[in-house]
Chain A
Amino acid sequence: MAGKTLFEKLWESHVVHEEPGGPALLYVDLHLVHEVTSAQAFEGLRLAGRTVRRPALTVATVDHNVPTADRGAPIADDISRRQIETMEQNAAEFGLTFYGYRSPNQGIVHVIGPELGYTQPGKVIVCGDSHTSTHGAFGAFALGIGTSEVEHVLATQCLIQKKPKTMEVRVDGALPQGVTAKDIILGIIGRIGVDGGVGYVIEYTGEAIRALSMEGRMTVCNMSIEGGARAGMIAPDEKTFAYLKGRRYAPQGSAWAAAVANWRTLTTDADATYDRVVTIDAAALEPHVTWGTNPGQVAPVSGSVPRPADMDTADEQAATERALAYMGLEGGTPIQDIPIERVFLGSCTNARMEDLRAAADIARGRRVHANVRAMVVPGSTMLKQQAEAEGLHEVFQAAGFEWRDAGCSMCLGMNPDILAPGERCASTSNRNFEGRQGKGGRTHLVSPQMAAAAAIAGRFVDVRDW
């Protein structure tokens, strides 16, 4: 009998019920909840007279909507404040652990899950947020769900799910200096396209993935959804266990040894096969910069913005033409000739300690360009304190970056942090969709190092030459 992939092992160990030909009922080990996609789900429970089946497996915070300046002050936007208060009330009513606006553990839900040790290998993890794929970095099956599914999980602790196909993305070799986890995933999406992973769960393997820190692995898995895959995962190893050991909600005492023994079995068997395999040579990767309005519209920093005629299909030509018009770019422009006015260092993709340290190393002793406004938004309040203990805030502030409070912030601009129409931003976030960071705003996705360097140079530069 053929061996099993990591994903198949997780899937089989979580099937509660299955009828031939139908989707499976999967058990959910961890349900993360935030303010934007949950209010209607809790209301649905109330209307049906239902309750939360396993409050102990449900953890809530506020992140999407929260202001990132002056946390002591009331939230000025009435509708935002009402949504945040509704989250707090729902958590209290249904007995959920809740990290509120002023909690020392508040943060982006995909940052605090791992940070507090909730995220663990072998878990099925869901959240009403597409970037739930982040948690797959620990060898979890983690996927984003809609609000009706949030209600379903709250009520039943299960998710109805059709079994996805499996794709291995193997990244061989070693990354050159200045090339990061962000460039790996942008390179992958550039290769497979923004719908290449639809219907699949991706397992990232290979030497370059093994060499990444847990932060880097989270960056890669985080953007699986930008390649169309609802989940991405990486088999756990010693790095994973070392990251989790001692974290507040990681298994403690004798349970730790039992957990690790189980986690060590979570690998793809040597004779297992995937439905599709993609291989990438890490040594050939460069820092990447998106030029268009989806993450697959991306080029190496040494390259140029493409022309519509460079595209293979009429669909892609039309999409490129539309993207260039929106972005205010001409085909053929060298990436390094593109000037920027804003920089956003933040988001569940790239706002962890490793990201902040790498950006600070670039910024240390330099000044943000006179034409640029740059902000740093740590992924969580705990992480912000840790960075301050290391003095990173002083490095950023001395260089002219704003140092702000934790939240999703300008990744999606639901709070006051937005671009003005036409403003061009180097962003460490995950989506460059039209209007994502503010109506008419122009987003270029890059690594933290590339964003920090762009802030100083006022245009994109190659960090390999920094």
Chain B
Amino acid sequence: MDPFVQHTGKVAALDRVNVDTDQIIPKQFLKRIERTGYGPFAFFDWRYFEDGATPNPDFELNDPRYDGASILVTGRNFGCGSSREHAAWALKEYGFLAIIAPSFADIFANNAVENGMLTIVLPPADVATLTERAQTVEDYRLTVDLANTTVKDDNGFAASFGVDPTVQHRLLNGLDAVGLTLQQEEAIADFEARRPGWLQSS
């Protein structure tokens, strides 16, 4: 997993609530068995016209002002719906390293962490401020600092965010969860020895 320590980048605003993973990556792209190659299909049905190739100028992220954005600011319950990790893969390939919202769907938030992408929960008023600045300030940038758990811009915005210490440690060091868990081999084996007989096989 790629580590996430500190990042300064351009901010794009997608001012919608309850953005579901069916929108982030529509189902027709889930048939692939690879872990990469989803970026071009992120937000496919919103991003392109019927022909699947011509960008729809009405879709917020197609605004040229957001070209090269790496931080997404969006509405509450982002990533709701399907568990498809393809949504996190697609957003990361699209270029986002951090997503800021008032809340995230639980499964999506886990999937993001597994891919070294930081989800930051800020109060709705802060998210509204950042959304407005992204929409109005040319080349609006934020600095996200995971070690100090802060989000700052150059115009006086500063907020701190909460993060689970284990998640923080994993992201800062880019640690593979499977590798960490395998260090608990003894505890897992002990647990297995205690399981009741009727659960021993499915």
Using a CB–CB cutoff of 8 Å, the interface residues on chain A facing chain B are: 16-17, 19, 21-23, 25, 27, 29-30, 36-37, 39-40, 43-44, 48, 50, 53, 56-59, 64-65, 77, 79-80, 82-83, 86, 97, 118, 123, 128-130, 144-149, 151-152, 155-158, 160, 162, 164, 194-195, 198-199, 225-226, 228, 230, 249, 251, 255-256, 258-259, 262, 294, 315-316, 318-319, 322, 412-414, 421, 431, 433-436, 439
Contacts and interface: CB of A to CB of B under 8 A. Distances in A.
Interface in B145-191: 164-166, 177-178, 181-182, 184, 187-188, 191
B65 interface: no
Contact of B77 (A195, A249, A255): A195
B110 A413 contact: no
B105 interface: yes
B137 to A, nearest CB: 21
Interface string B97-126: 000000111110011001100000000000
Nearest to B75: A315
A228 B105 contact: yes
A152 B177 contact: yes
B23 A145 contact: no
A258 B198 CA distance: 8
B196 A16 contact: no
Given A57-B201, A258-B196, A439-B45, A156 B164 contact: no
Interface size grouping (class) on chain B: 35 or more
B93 to A, nearest CB: 14
Contacts of A58: 202
A59 B202 contact: yes
Given A40-B35, A50-B178, A195 B18 contact: yes
Contacts of A53: 188
Contacts of A318: 16-17
Contacts of B17: 315-316, 318-319
Contacts of B82: 129-130, 412, 431
A97 B115 contact: no
Nearest to B111: A146
B107 A82 contact: no
Interface of B: 16-18, 20, 22-23, 26-28, 30-35, 45, 50, 75-77, 80-86, 88, 103-107, 110-111, 114-115, 164-166, 177-178, 181-182, 184, 187-188, 191-192, 195-202
Contacts of A23: 164, 166
A30 B202 contact: yes
Given A40-B33, A152-B177, 10 more contacts: A25-B181, A43-B33, A53-B188, A128-B85, A144-B83, A148-B115, A155-B182, A158-B184, A431-B20, A434-B45
A-B residue pairs, 8 tightest by C-beta: A148-B114, A39-B33, A195-B77, A146-B111, A146-B85, A251-B198, A144-B83, A147-B85
A433 B106 contact: no
Nearest to A64: B30
Contacts of B187: 16-17, 25
17 contacts: A16-B191, A36-B31, A82-B31, A82-B33, A123-B199, A130-B83, A146-B114, A147-B111, A156-B182, A157-B188, A249-B202, A316-B17, A319-B16, A431-B82, A433-B22, A434-B22, A435-B45
